[in-house]
Amino acid sequence: MGTTCGLTIDPIYRYVRAIVICVILLPCIQLSLGAKTRHFKWEVEYKYWSPDCIENIVMAINGQFPGPTIRAKVGDTINVELTNKLSTEGVVIHWHGIRQTGTPWADGTASISQCAINPGETYTYRFKVDKPGTYFYHGHLGMQRSAGLYGSLIVDLAEGEKEPFYYDGELNLLLSDWWHKNTHDQEIGLFTNPFRWVGESQSLLINGRGQYNCSLAAKFSSNTSISQCKLRGTEQCAPMILHVLPNKTYRLRLASATSLASLNLAIGNHKMLVVEADGNYVQPFEVDDLDIYSGESYSVLLTTNQDPSNNYWLSIGVRGRLPQTPQGLTILNYKPNSASKLPISAPPITPNHKMLVVEADGNYVQPFEVDDLDIYSGESYSVLLTTNQDPSNNYWLSIGVRGRLPQTPQGLTILNYKPNSASKLPISAPPITPVWNDYNHSKAFTNKILALMGTPKPPVNHDRRIILLNTQNKINGYTKWALNNVSLVLPPTPYLGSIKYGLKNAFDQKNPPENFDSINYDVTKPPVNPNSTYGNGVYMLGFNTTVDVILQNANALNANVSEIHPWHLHGHDFWVLGYGDGKFSAENDEKKLNLKNPPLRNSAIIFPYGWTALRFVADNPGVWAFHCHIEPHLHMGMGVVFAEGVDRLSTIPNEGLTCGLTGKKFSGQKN
């Protein structure tokens, strides 16, 4: 197998055809002449690290967290020899946003494009980068991305090519979220009945750096319990300061590898001009702040046109998730008042009643009086309550969560206008993140993203339309996510091998459902029948056909809950034809789809109770995951698998297929 200029060629004719093709495609030759192969030798292992000033364990590459940044030029070949130095776990790395044209085996998705690399073994990822842009890479097995297996991948234009915008310098920010509970424990919770959820992340990280036990901006906070960070700058959690010169234009490359969080990014006093999304140019538009969902990347231009005697904040904050567990409340009804009479004051901050603690865990204790009582999991108490307050009122009894930050604090760093000292704090508080559920703000931003003129346009018609209803479900009491009532469970044999070799026992050969009962299903209510089924079938796409996917959001298991899901497609960019509220209607919504200048992307979100329409051409032989990029959601089944033109791949390297039924086949066993 040989790959030349992005085309796959039969080995026997390789030499001759390569010459013919490259002579015909002159620009291609020019690229190839300047192109390099960039070699990397990486070792993945766990390492103690303090991403947010609290020591924990991260997945490191060559001892670094985040992993090393790959920087290449269009036309280059990336060659990463990845050695698994873990003790018991497999590992893979996915090159997020790279389409892997002609090299689907290098996509780095366990169970889809390859077997996980076993401990002690080395697998070589070798692929071309054919489009400039801001990308990243990350683990794609279990919760290894959440564990810190990620890094930046930046593709510059080929020598002599020019970006459609000007900038003086560049800053590269990889955003992520971070938990103190280890990812193995988090993952087991997902597969437990009743479901156990880790909750919101403890920290947000910018280039792997955050601060949990202090704040860079404490002096601007009304919360006096947060201390001002005193960092020397050499700590693993010290912020990466963004050094800039006044009156220049900088390209900020942003990518979100978060496990869960939807983020909003803002820079104090500065506007940003959005110019790139997911490795595609967009019609430039100016914003005060920017939403970035897991799996997305952007470039924004920042002009340092503010008072040069100050420094400024860059902040990221969580969007789209209720920031804290609300208090539990009941009413202490002083009879004969009506129980429905609300207390006259707010739930206790300064309570009216004292309590006398007399028993703990079945043992009498020396009685002592308290205003409030901490009660931890597994504990029991008896307290004596004397109803000695104004009998004309009722009173609140409240419980609230302790010992956990009520919400994930903002991630912060400083935009340092030189020659100011980097340690000079900005003069005002960091930008405030918009309210978590201000979806109008988010939609306004999303709707501004349109393709730059000259971007390829989508085919006018689709050959096939797959409608995917996104629902939260139950299977045997376990909480799952499902598409058209099928919750994805990946098989042990990678699809790329089982399809290529026709191993029909490797996965369900029936096509998964193309639609749901859209007439009767009420997307605004919890599912009437929440029971779902496991599945691992594949959407077999006709080669070179145009495929529409309508992602249809719905209500989750609890009433009045519908979450944002950022969907990511491997092996392709798609056109985002439009977003809408409620149930997608071919009749009403079809004509509103944007076929004029829809943005090309590899990631798109669905808003609560809304739909999103995507279109792509199935022109890349391989098997490709399409899934919610929230890591726990994917593991709870929120993904589907597309396959196209696998029969056109003359050779698939067996190196990545020595597991499952392909492994059995190679070793001469019966499948």
Residue 118 buriedness (CB in 10 A; 0-12 / 13-18 / 19+): middle
| Residue 62 binds a copy of itself (CB under 8 A) | no
Please say which residue, 111 or 294, places its beta carbon nearer to a copy of itself: 111
Q: Which is nearer to a copy of itself, 53 or 316 (CB)?
A: 53
508 binds a copy of itself (CB under 8 A): no
- Name which position in 195, 285, 534, 666 contacts a copy of itself (CB under 8 A): 666
Find the distance separating the first CA and the last CA of the chain, reported in whole Å: 27
Size, binding site for a copy of itself by CB under 8 A: 50
Indicate whether 41 belongs to the interface with a copy of itself (CB under 8 A).
Answer: no
Q: Choose which of 20, 63, 170, 227 interacts with a copy of itself (CB under 8 A).
A: 227
CA–CA–CA angle 128, 129, 135 (5° rounding): 135
The distance of closest approach from Cβ of residue 483 to a copy of itself in the complex, given in angstroms and rounded to an integer, is 21
What's at 58, amino acid-wise?
V
CA proximity to 270, closest of 306, 217, 308, 241: 306
Closest alpha carbon to 44 in 25, 28, 65: 65
Provide, rounded to whole angstroms, the least separation between the CB of residue 122 and a copy of itself.
9
- In the list 5, 74, 141, 451, the residue contacting a copy of itself (rule: CB under 8 A) is 141
Among 116, 154, 538, 551, binds a copy of itself (CB under 8 A): 116
Contact (Cβ atoms closer than 8 angstroms) between residue 407 and residue 324: yes
Q: Which stretch binds a copy of itself (CB under 8 A): 110-118, 303-311, 549-557, 608-616?
A: 110-118
CA–CA distance, 586 with 595 (Å, rounded to integer): 15
| Residue found by looking up tokens 């249809």 in the block | 552
Which amino acid, residue 560? Answer: N
Binder among 17, 22, 46, 450 for a copy of itself (CB under 8 A) = 46
Q: Are 65 and 80 in contact (CB under 8 A)?
A: no
Site string for a copy of itself, 634-653 (x = CB under 8 A): -x------------------
Site stretch for a copy of itself (CB under 8 A), options 93-101, 191-199, 389-397, 508-516: 191-199
Residues 6+ apart with CB under 8 A from 77: 35, 36, 37, 38, 126, 127, 128, 129
The stretch near a copy of itself (CB under 8 A) out of 114-122, 280-288, 303-311, 340-348 is 114-122
467 sits near a copy of itself (criterion: CB under 8 A):
no
Q: Tell me how far CA of residue 206 lies from CA of 187, 209, 224, 300, 564, in angstroms.
A: 24, 5, 24, 16, 22
Q: What is the dihedral of CA 403, 406, 407, 413, to 10 degrees?
A: -60
CA distance 355 to 339: 22
Pick from 182, 221, 236, 352: which binds a copy of itself (CB under 8 A)? 182
Find the binder of a copy of itself among 121, 438, 508, 581 (CB under 8 A).
121
Out of 11, 34, 63, 120, point to the residue binding a copy of itself (CB under 8 A).
120
Residues linked to residue 384 through DSSP beta bridges, in sequence order: 356
- DSSP letter, residue 136: E
Q: Give the nearer residue to a copy of itself in terms of CB position, either 125 or 396.
A: 125
- Spatial separation of the C-alpha atoms in residues 6 and 28, rounded to whole Å: 9
Determine how many CB atoms are found less than 10 A away from the CB of residue 434.
19
Residues 512-571 that bind a copy of itself (CB under 8 A): none
Give the shortest CB-575-to-a copy of itself separation in angstroms: 34
Of residues 348 through 377, those in contact with a copy of itself by CB under 8 A are: 361-363
The only residue of 6, 119, 530, 582 in contact with a copy of itself, by rule CB under 8 A: 119
| Contact status: 164 vs a copy of itself (CB under 8 A) | no
State yes or no: residue 388 binds a copy of itself (CB under 8 A).
no
Which one of 468, 483, 488, 490 is in contact with a copy of itself (CB under 8 A)? 490
| Residue 114 near a copy of itself by CB under 8 A | no
Find out whether 513 and 482 touch, Cβ atoms under 8 Å: no
- CB-wise, 98 or 116, nearer to a copy of itself? 116
Tokens matching residue 397: 């009894």
192 touches a copy of itself (CB under 8 A): yes
Nearer to a copy of itself, 231 or 332 (CB): 231
Binding of a copy of itself by 225 (CB under 8 A)? no
Placement of tokens 């697998």 in the chain: 123
Q: Report the chain's C-alpha Rg in angstroms.
A: 27
**Position among 492, 530, 537, 645 found at the interface with a copy of itself (CB under 8 A):** 492
Of the candidates 612, 575, 665, the one whose C-alpha atom is nearest the C-alpha of residue 278 is 575
Nearer to a copy of itself, 351 or 653 (CB): 653
Shortest reach from residue 648's CB to a copy of itself, in Å: 21
Which residues have C-beta within 8 Å of that of residue 30, sequence separation ≥ 6? Answer: none
* Minimal distance, residue 230 CB to a copy of itself, in Å: 6
Going across the sheet that includes 122-128, the strands are 56-61, 37-49, 77-84, 122-128
Q: Which distant-in-sequence residues (6+ apart) come within 8 Å of 109 by Cβ? A: 92, 94, 140, 570, 625
Q: Which of 51, 97, 104, 142 binds a copy of itself (CB under 8 A)?
A: 142
Can residue 403 be called a binding residue for a copy of itself (CB under 8 A)?
no
Task: Report the phi/psi class of residue 278: left, alpha or beta, with left for phi > 0 and alpha for psi in -120 to 50.
Answer: left
Closest distance of CB 512 from a copy of itself, Å: 19
Tokens of 161: 């090519």
Check binding of 88 to a copy of itself (CB under 8 A).
yes
Residues binding a copy of itself (CB under 8 A): 45-48, 57, 87-91, 111, 115-116, 118-121, 141-144, 182, 184-185, 187-188, 191-192, 196, 227, 230, 361-363, 490-492, 635, 654-655, 657-660, 663-664, 666-669
